């Protein structure tokens, strides 16, 4: 059974940093691309970033480019999102999602971790 478990969310001040983690199990993590998708409170879904299986290809939404960094450690079956220069509009539930079937921002999703940016 595919399981994705996010952690690392919390309250941070504007301009601050936070690192999210996602622990994967139940599939061959090193073979598939992974994504981060976020959802602001009461709002829709927004794709944030993607990373290929070997980390060779990395992509970001314009809204986070230059501030967020996605990475993965295939030996630890883990995905990460380093978030710097956080803004109030980054407040959201952040979901880790796998791309096993291909060409989707997520086929299996974690339960999400809430990031709140507020002074």
Residues found near other proteins in the complex (CB under 8 A): 37, 44-47, 50, 57, 59, 61-63, 95, 101-112
Minimum distance from residue 78 beta carbon to other proteins (Å): 18
Smaller CB distance to other proteins: residue 23 or 45?
45
Find where tokens 């980054």 sit: 90
Minimum distance from residue 13 beta carbon to other proteins (Å): 27
DSSP string, 8-56: --EEE-TT--EEEEEEEESS-GGGSEEEEEEE-TTS-EEEEEEE-TTS-
Smaller CB distance to other proteins: residue 17 or 28?
28
Smaller CB distance to other proteins: residue 50 or 117?
50
DSSP 6: E
Minimum distance from residue 55 beta carbon to other proteins (Å): 14
Minimum distance from residue 36 beta carbon to other proteins (Å): 11
User: Containing H/E element for 99?
Assistant: strand 92-99
């Amino acid at each position: 059974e595919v399981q994705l478990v996010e952690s690392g969310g919390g309250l941070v001040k504007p301009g601050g940093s936070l690192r999210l983690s996602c622990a994967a199990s139940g599939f061959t993590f090193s073979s598939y691309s992974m994504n981060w998708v976020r959802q602001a409170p009461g709002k829709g879904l927004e794709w944030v970033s993607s990373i290929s299986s070997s980390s060779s290809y990395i992509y970001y939404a314009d809204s986070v480019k230059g501030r967020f960094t996605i990475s993965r450690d295939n030996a630890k079956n883990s995905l990460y999102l380093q978030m710097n220069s956080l803004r109030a509009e980054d407040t959201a539930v952040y979901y880790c999602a796998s791309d096993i079937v291909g060409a989707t921002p997520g086929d299996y999703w974690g339960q999400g971790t809430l990031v709140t940016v507020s002074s």
